[in-house]
């Protein structure tokens, strides 16, 4: 069973593993199949679901909302995360004439209103600004956040893909706290170690969320020298751990980090969700963790 974890002091309490719905439209599930997948997550203790308004060209939130309604689950027992700030050219948004970022108050509030309708819910547990916007106006974002909080439509706020300086700039001008930064982190993508993103979260007592904890599938299919080295090392460690699969070792590697990442699992298969949950019982030694690090880096630790 997946445990619950506080994102920060006085922040929301989420499941340690999060189910990501980025590819929900690609899975071609029927509403019942999606409802069954949600139910399976809940049976395993995964109560947190990650969205963005743009996923599936603006369709995934409504697909999830319809399926969630079919489950009849008590809304208070789950947590919904969604993001806004990216505008895509899509037949589902004919008014968008070009890809851009928009973190104006009007866009943030309108995006949330649409997400609430599509998700068939009265509130969002956590709203994230999807990516740093060069034209971000601090007063506009603060006004949007305060308005949404006071209206009870969004309970907590955070960011995604923000560098430490960008996080600090926004946080310093908000009347509501930022509770997390959702960043890319995996055995193939360790940039957050060097750019200070993980350090900032640990300094502030925030639990980061990790998107693409398997490198967006690159770990399993990519033919690069890095991916080959890492796969071989994961296989060896899995064998030493009694037959753990390579994907389980890769997830255990992320989970071992003291920042207490919440990995976002982007799978539509119940069997893979169960395997991920089983990983919580898998503990890597320090030596095994650094073997994976060195395989990813392509050189020994300094």
Cα–Cα separations (whole angstroms), residue 259 to 21, 195, 199, 202 = 24, 15, 8, 6
CA–CA separation, 129 and 52 (whole Å): 10
Q: Please spell the DSSP secondary structure of 210-247, one letter per residue.
A: EE-TTGGGHHHH--SHHHHHHHHHHHHHHHHTTS--HH
Pull the structure tokens for residue 281. Answer: 């019982």
Q: Indicate if 55 belongs to the active site.
A: yes
Per-residue tokens: 264: 């976002």
Contact (CB, 8 A) for 49 and 17: no
The count of other CB atoms within 10 Å of the CB of residue 195 is: 13
Pair of tokens at residue 49: 């679901």
| Residues facing residue 49 across a β-bridge | 19, 80
Residues in the chain: 302
Q: Is 71 helix (H, G, I), strand (E, B) or coil?
A: helix
SS3 5: strand
Distances from the Cα of 92 to the Cα of 53, 54, 130, 230, 263, angstroms: 11, 10, 19, 40, 29
* Residues involved in catalysis: 55
């Amino acid at each position: 069973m997946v445990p619950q974890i506080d994102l920060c002091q006085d922040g929301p309490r989420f499941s340690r593993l999060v189910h990501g719905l980025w590819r929900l439209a690609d899975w071609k599930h029927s509403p019942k199949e999606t409802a069954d997948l949600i139910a399976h997550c809940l049976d395993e203790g995964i109560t947190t679901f990650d969205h963005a308004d743009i996923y599936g060209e603006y369709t995934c939130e409504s697909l999830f909302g319809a399926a969630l309604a079919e489950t009849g689950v008590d809304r208070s027992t789950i947590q919904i995360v969604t993001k806004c700030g990216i505008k895509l050219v899509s037949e589902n948004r004919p008014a968008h004439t070009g890809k851009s970022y928009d973190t104006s108050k009007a866009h943030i509030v309108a995006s949330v209103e649409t997400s609430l309708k599509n998700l068939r819910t009265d509130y969002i547990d956590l709203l994230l600004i999807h990516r740093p916007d060069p034209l971000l106006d601090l007063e506009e974002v603060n006004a949007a956040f305060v308005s949404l909080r006071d209206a009870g439509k969004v309970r907590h706020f955070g960011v995604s893909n923000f560098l430490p300086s960008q996080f600090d700039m926004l946080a310093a001008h908000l009347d509501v706290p930022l509770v997390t930064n959702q960043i890319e982190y995996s055995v193939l993508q360790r940039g957050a170690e060097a750019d200070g993103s993980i350090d900032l979260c640990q300094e502030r007592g925030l639990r980061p969320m990790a998107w693409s904890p398997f490198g967006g599938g690159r770990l399993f299919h990519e033919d690069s020298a890095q991916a080959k080295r890492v796969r071989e090392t994961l296989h060896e460690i899995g064998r030493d751990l009694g037959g753990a699969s390579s994907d389980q070792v890769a997830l255990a590697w992320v989970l071992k980090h003291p920042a207490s990442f919440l990995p976002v699992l982007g799978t539509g298969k119940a069997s893979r969700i169960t395997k991920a949950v089983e990983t919580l019982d898998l503990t890597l030694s320090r030596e095994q963790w650094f073997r994976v690090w060195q395989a990813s880096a392509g050189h020994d630790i300094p």
